[in-house]
Structure 1
Amino acid sequence: MRRRYSVNQIIRQSLYKANDHSSVKNVKRVAGGSINESFFVETERSRYFIKYHVNSPSGFFELEADGLRLIKSTKSVSVPDVLAFSDKKGEAFLVMEWLEGRETSKTQIQLGEQLAVMHQNYGKKHGFNKDTFIGTLPQPNGLFSSWLDYYRDKRLKAQLEQGIRQQTIKGKRRDRLERLLERLGDWIPDEVPPSYLHGDLWGGNWLPGPGGKPYLIDPSFLYGDRHFELAFTELFGGFTPVFYEAYASEFPIADYYEEIKPLYQLYYLLVHLNIFGKTYGGQVDAVLQRYV
Structure 2
Amino acid sequence: MGGICEGRVVLVTGAGRGLGRAHALEFARQGARVVVNDVGVEPDGSGRSAAPAEDVAAEIRAAGGEAATATGDIAAADGAAEAVDTALRAFGRLDTLVNNAGFVRDRMLVNLSEEEWDAVLRVHLKGHFLMLRRAGAHWRAEAKAGRMPAARVVNTSSGAGLLGSVGQANYSAAKAGIIGLTLVAAAELGRYGVAVNAIAPAARTRMTERAFAERMARPGGAAFDAMDPANVSPLVVWLGSAESEGVTGRVFEAEGGRLCLMDGFRHGPSADRGARWDPADVGAAVHGLLRAAPAPEPAYGS
User: TM-score w.r.t. structure 1 length?
Assistant: 0.26
TM-score in terms of structure 2 length: 0.26
Name the structure where strand makes up a greater proportion of residues. 1
Q: Comparing both structures, which one devotes a greater share of its residues to helix?
A: 1
